[in-house]
Amino acid sequence: MASETEKGLPDWYSLGEKNADGEVDMSTTKNIQWVARLGNKTYGSPIVSRGRVFIGTAGKSYEDAAVLCFDEKTGHELGRFVCGPSQTKADNFGVSSTPTVEGDRLYFVAPYPEVMCVDLNSWLKPSAAAGTTDSARHIVWRYDMAKNLHVMQDHVASCSVLVYGDFVYVCTGNGRFKYTDKPFYPLTPSLIVLNKHTGQMVARDDEQIGEQLWRGQWSSPSLAMVNGKAQILFATGNGLCYGFEPVDPAVKVIPDRWITTTLRGPIVCYIDVKGKDTGGLSPAEYARKFTPLDSMEKPALPLEFRYSINLPVITPVNSIPTARVPDVPILKKIWWFDCLPPEYRNAPFYARGGKGDGQKHPCDIIATPVFYRNRVYVPIGGDPVHGSRNSRGNLVCIDPTRTGNVTRSGKVWSYDNLNAALTTVSIADGLVFVIDEASVIHCLDADTGQKYWTYALKSDNGQLNSALLAVDGKLFAGKAILAVSKTLKVLGTIEGSAATSSSTPCVANGVLFTVHGKSLWAVRDKGEKKPEVSLIPPPSATSATPSQ
């Protein structure tokens, strides 16, 4: 979420006004190169490759989910890849997966969920009409995770794929669905690896993360070069972060071979404590005292008790779950780290409903792990609609040079003086920037975790899902532009009525590409200066104080 090379970005711009037809009047904008219309909702983020801008969006129905392509210089739409109907329906969030482009191939996860590889030369050739309805003919390969792996996703598939070497690393997004009338597959892999040329599965994790989930999984895998050696970083819906070895390209894989696996245990057993006084007992202590299981239920495996309010889908305790999974090599763990403090895990979990406890409770991880100077940074935070709102978060700095369970030995520092955070941190000039679900930005020292300042974005109505972007000494955050500095400085603001979004901006060739409202904006410094207005930090901003 940072660029060390891009320069010349403006510290102010205006989105202008709309004309009688509801279109943006470009003559009223400031420091805007072009603007392009998107779908009804946009949760994916733009990326730029070879003079083209790609971004996922949503249409009127879930069948209209699409990846759009625009000319980088003009904003003219060059192509519209429509995912089309699927037997597995998802909520209408559109293509929330930020595309990955390598050469003439585009990779992304469709919301159904399918991993897709698209031929850009075929899709974007001049004779192909933008908005064509036969997008499927441009697909090189597709991997249907719902059909092949019984993946069940909460809301939508949103993972951005990682391409490294000849392989594509993908979070399946398999989750513990919030409705009990849908099946739950706890043994479905959470991290899979596909051959980027053929789509054949070549490796998977065997951590059985599904049984340990709170709800869903939305974090994307990322790459770290630890002392010159590659690691695949992966954060999960049960609050852990892993470092895996990359796939060995020399290992031969027999295609389409399957095996039956069984749950190793424990079985997670939720205790619904709605309206009950837990008396300060841990879930295990509560279970020993009040025996929440029916006397006829004989556990087939050891049990792990957790508190819940309104139960999610659970695994029966009187039988050992089995599943048919691909017979491929298992990803090798290098290290793993529990990002949730123990007191968070022992608190009630709001599986449904829109109100959290305002204190501490279990969280998953939605953000992507960030690697910086031989350190890994991960914040925790769940869906505010399902209990995370106003709940305490935690940001950890991990030493990835160690091996095994590094929850204690690999902890460099942690910072819990923030609300739950949904977004990936931004790191620049030795500073970590993170925004929590209360729309408060925290500036920390990357080496020590010391807090330098906080700043509340009042204009974002208490929540901002978009990650911050640090570039050219500027921190782009919603409608505010701050300085990348140990001292809080408000450089400018973004004028216009269009709302901020859950899409994270990107920068390329001196232009910022960002989503406001239902449009994609190309922002560049055209020499148009901001009005001379004194910008004074509001009372909500705080100066430097120790973090712990």
CA distances from 219 to 57, 97, 283, 433 (A): 19, 11, 27, 18
Each domain of the chain, given as residue ranges in start order, spans 40-146, 150-422, 426-507+524-548
Render each residue's pLDDT in the chain as its tens digit; 548 residues. Answer: 999 999 999 999 999 998 888 889 999 999 999 999 999 889 889 999 999 999 999 987 777 899 999 999 999 999 999 988 776 666 788 899 999 999 999 999 998 889 999 999 999 987 655 455 689 999 999 999 999 999 988 777 889 999 999 999 999 999 887 666 777 899 999 999 999 999 999 999 999 999 998 888 889 999 999 999 999 999 999 999 999 999 999 998 998 899 999 999 999 998 888 888 888 888 999 998 888 877 667 899 999 998 887 766 788 899 999 999 999 999 999 999 999 988 888 777 765 554 544 455 677 899 999 999 999 999 998 776 665 667 789 999 999 999 999 999 999 999 999 988 989 999 999 999 999 988 899 999 999 999 999 999 876 655 677 889 999 999 999 889 999 999 999 999 898 877 777 889 999 999 999 999 999 999 999 999 877 755 555 555 555 443 43
State both tokens at 64.
């209209």
What is residue 386's predicted lDDT score, i.e. its pLDDT? 63
What residues contact 356, with CB distance under 8 A and at least 6 apart? 350, 384, 387, 388, 389, 390, 391
- Cα–Cα dist 168/161, whole Å: 6
What is residue 538's predicted lDDT score, i.e. its pLDDT? 56
- Cα–Cα dist 283/278, whole Å: 8
State both tokens at 7.
């320069």
What is residue 533's predicted lDDT score, i.e. its pLDDT? 57
- Cα–Cα dist 510/515, whole Å: 17
- Give the DSSP per-residue string, 455-510: EE-GGGTT---SPPEEETTEEEETTEEEESSSS--EEEEEESSPPP-SPPPEEETT
**Reported pTM:** 0.93
Judge whether 40-146 and 426-507+524-548 match in fold: no
What is residue 307's predicted lDDT score, i.e. its pLDDT? 86
Q: Specify whether domain 40-146 bears CATH 3.40.50.2000.
A: no
CA 214 to chain centre: 16
Look at residue 30 and give its three-state secondary structure: strand
> In this structure, which amino acid lies at residue 541?
A
CA distances from 27 to 16, 30, 33, 60, 209 (A): 8, 8, 11, 30, 53
What is residue 546's predicted lDDT score, i.e. its pLDDT? 39
- Cα–Cα dist 37/18, whole Å: 13
What is residue 479's predicted lDDT score, i.e. its pLDDT? 87
Angle (nearest 5°) at CA 432 between 374 and 479: 145
State both tokens at 150.
């019984």
In 3D, which of 89, 85, 99 has the Cα closest to residue 163? 99
Candidates 1.10.1450.10, 2.40.128.630, 3.40.50.10860, 3.40.50.300; CATH matching 426-507+524-548 = 2.40.128.630
- Cα–Cα dist 493/508, whole Å: 21
